[in-house]
Structure 1
Amino acid sequence: MLKILSKLALLFAFIPLHSQADAERIIALSPHAVEMLYAIGAGSRIVATTDHADYPEQAKLIPRIGGYYGIQMERVLELKPDLIVTWDGGNRAEDLEMLKKFGFKVFSSDPKTLDAVAQELLVLGELTGTQDTARQVAATYRADLATLRLANRSKPKVRLFYQLWSQPLMTVGKGSWIEQIIEVCNGENLFVDASGDYPQVSFEAVLLQKPDVILRSQDEGNIHGIDWQQWPEVPAVARGHIYDLDADLLHRAGPRTTEAVNVLCNALDKARVPPLPVQ
């Protein structure tokens, strides 16, 4: 450990002090930060990112310097970024602390609400000198979100179960990112009052609740973890209202969030259509 720290200190000694100018060399330590930076016209300045940053297509070409398991500090020092966009929810606390100790300019991007996405776009615009584009993107996002809220608020409630993961069986609770999207679509999350944002629930509890819709994040392990067709007494199964949704689109707090809201709302709309009479 001492050898690693000594090497890092040696590399750090050759890094020039950062100016207050617009960020030109950016390390984005989350997929959602990468999406935001591309949306405001600063994506080409990203010199490194973490695993799973795959949107837009150009993002797949950005060098990777780590993931949830940690950041390669030596690579950070070698790249000499003048801005590092971190993520408290996806980066190790000890890595974030080390970045600050080294004196890098750090912005923590961790929007907790749908509305906070627009504000973070504006902040990143200020940091990168892309204020005009950021204001346009933020305004479009806010307008689209307002339109979706208005269009769905008077629709009939739909009782749903959101299958976040199959083994163990996990769902989403009050305050979670997905629950906020469900609320826009006027869905009724059957486990909204469960303890925690992402509670573990029993399979029997889901069967007893008899959801009209089952939504699943579109991960292979999640989809194949439970065969709901074995329980045709569940309305969602009997009526064919089980929908697999793009996990990356739905779970990332970024400018595509309004697309995610629209996808989930469309799934609930299918369940709102009265079933055809039996011939």
Structure 2
Amino acid sequence: MKILLILVSFISFIWAERIVTLSPSINEIVFALGEGKNIVANTTYCNYPSQSKEIKKVGGYANISLEKILEVKPTLVIAQNYDQKLLENLKALNIKTLVFKTDTLDSIKNTILTLGKEFNKEKLASSLVMKINQSLKNLENIVSDKKIVIIIHPSKNLSKNIFIVGNNLYFNDIIKASNNQNAYISKNSAQPVVNIEKIIAMNPDIIILLAAFFQEDKEGLEEIKKQWKNLPINAAIKNNIYAIDKEYAGIPSHRVIYFIDDFKKILEDVRNK
């Protein structure tokens, strides 16, 4: 019996996947599906769950090293569609590579379900997607027809370029699911960059600052919020300036449910004023 157990363990070790995850969102989803133990390399910003920090790094968004990937002898590389040259090189080397988008809610859910099938974890993947769907449903009929602007990484200087959420990201899907609207409307899929005059012209009812960089700087974040509260816009007049300083807010993984919950609390606060 002891020999059999040793043999089974040895076979499991031999056949275990050697996974490389090339983005934080992919890394988080693989862990959520119970395959984190098989990740042999990831990227610089893959820091959740905490075990991810101890895994070998192969670079960041713009400087992923093919050589470092090859060093860990992967059986599977899971990536997003950022670096086409890298993906072509992996394909040329006959390394199994799965490529996903995680920009919209549908693409996030598709990534979870497809990886669930890949790892024979369909039931777990379906459960994660069901939680996202339920979280979205919980947003219904809190407030409606409010114009919302979501600011990405707000600066202390409002005269600088302001990066906001456009109409092609999962944040926009969440706004729509709540029966509200993105104050910024454009068919352009590029990252929107506006100035403060444009924000004033949009006159949003709610401003949400995605401020993970200020998680350890509450005083700095309050200074930023104060500047936005001084603007001649409905959001400032009605004191509807909010900040979410959690890192998960900008990671398009299964943890989007935490952002949705934060968003729900904001809408409830607006309703209750």
Specify if TM > 0.5: yes
CA distance in 2, matches of 1:165, 1:58: 26
Q: Which runs of 4+ in 1 moved over 4 A?
A: 221-226
CA distance in 2, matches of 1:40, 1:262: 22
Partner SS state of residue 193, structure 2: coil
Conserved? CA contact 1:159–1:212, under 8 Å: yes
C-alpha RMSD over aligned residues: 2.5
Query: Structure 2 regions of 5+ residues with no counterpart?
Result: 1-13, 155-159, 215-219
Per the alignment, do residues 22 and 116 of structure 1 end up closer, same or farther by CA in structure 2, a change over 3 Å counting? Answer: farther
Of 218-227 and 259-268, deviating more is 218-227
* % identical equivalent positions: 25
Per the alignment, do residues 55 and 67 of structure 1 end up closer, same or farther by CA in structure 2, a change over 3 Å counting? Answer: same
Conserved? CA contact 1:160–1:189, under 8 Å: yes
- Paired amino acid for 2:242: Y
Match of 1:110 in 2: 101
Per the alignment, do residues 194 and 213 of structure 1 end up closer, same or farther by CA in structure 2, a change over 3 Å counting? Answer: farther
Per the alignment, do residues 52 and 174 of structure 1 end up closer, same or farther by CA in structure 2, a change over 3 Å counting? Answer: same
Shift of 1:95: 1.6
The alignment status of 1:187 with 2:180, answered yes or no, reads: yes
Per the alignment, do residues 206 and 81 of structure 1 end up closer, same or farther by CA in structure 2, a change over 3 Å counting? Answer: same
- Paired amino acid for 1:120: T
Match of 2:134 in 1: 147
Match of 1:137 in 2: 124
Partner SS state of residue 150, structure 2: strand
Conserved? CA contact 1:26–1:45, under 8 Å: yes
Match of 2:235 in 1: 236
The alignment status of 1:171 with 2:171, answered yes or no, reads: no
- Paired amino acid for 1:161: V
Match of 2:266 in 1: 267
- Paired amino acid for 1:145: I
Q: Deviations for 1:119-161, whole angstroms, at most 9, x for unmatched residues? A: 3223223333xx2xx3233222332233233333333322222
Match of 1:199 in 2: 192
Match of 1:249 in 2: 248
- Paired amino acid for 1:269: E
Alignment of 1:71-150 (within 5 A): 71-89=64-82, 92-128=83-119, 131=120, 134-150=121-137
Conserved? CA contact 2:153–2:211, under 8 Å: no
Partner SS state of residue 112, structure 2: helix
Q: How many residues align?
A: 247
TM-score w.r.t. length of structure 1: 0.78
Query: Structure 1 regions of 5+ residues with no counterpart?
Result: 1-20, 275-279
Conserved? CA contact 1:173–1:194, under 8 Å: no
